């Protein structure tokens, strides 16, 4: 639960840069899995969850701005 609070504390530009870097990291993980260089596949799952959390916070802020 503390992780979502940390994400909410970030600014909009920090959220976007974080999102971009994690998406790039996920792409690299996919390449490593395809070439059988990655041993811990659970890292992909954690990266996907982090992306979802960041996108959720971004969407929450968009909705809050519309009111």
Domains of the chain by start residue, with CATH: 2-66 (1.10.287.310)
Per-residue confidence (pLDDT) for residue 43, from 0 to 100: 95
Per-residue confidence (pLDDT) for residue 1, from 0 to 100: 52
Q: Indicate the pTM of the whole model.
A: 0.90
How far apart are alpha carbons 38 and 55 in whole angstroms?
26
2, pLDDT greater than 80:
no
How far apart are alpha carbons 1 and 13 in whole angstroms?
22
Per-residue confidence (pLDDT) for residue 16, from 0 to 100: 97
How far apart are alpha carbons 33 and 41 in whole angstroms?
8
How do residues 11-63 score in pLDDT, each as one tens digit?
Answer: 999 999 999 999 999 999 999 999 999 889 999 999 999 999 999 999 999 99
How far apart are alpha carbons 12 and 21 in whole angstroms?
14
Per-residue confidence (pLDDT) for residue 67, from 0 to 100: 86
């Amino acid at each position: 639960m503390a992780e979502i609070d940390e994400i909410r504390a970030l600014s909009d530009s920090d959220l976007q840069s974080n999102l971009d870097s994690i998406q790039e990291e996920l792409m690299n993980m996919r390449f490593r899995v395809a070439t059988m260089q990655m041993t811990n596949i659970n890292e992909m799952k954690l990266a996907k969850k982090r992306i979802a959390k960041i996108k959720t916070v971004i969407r929450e802020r968009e909705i809050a701005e519309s009111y």
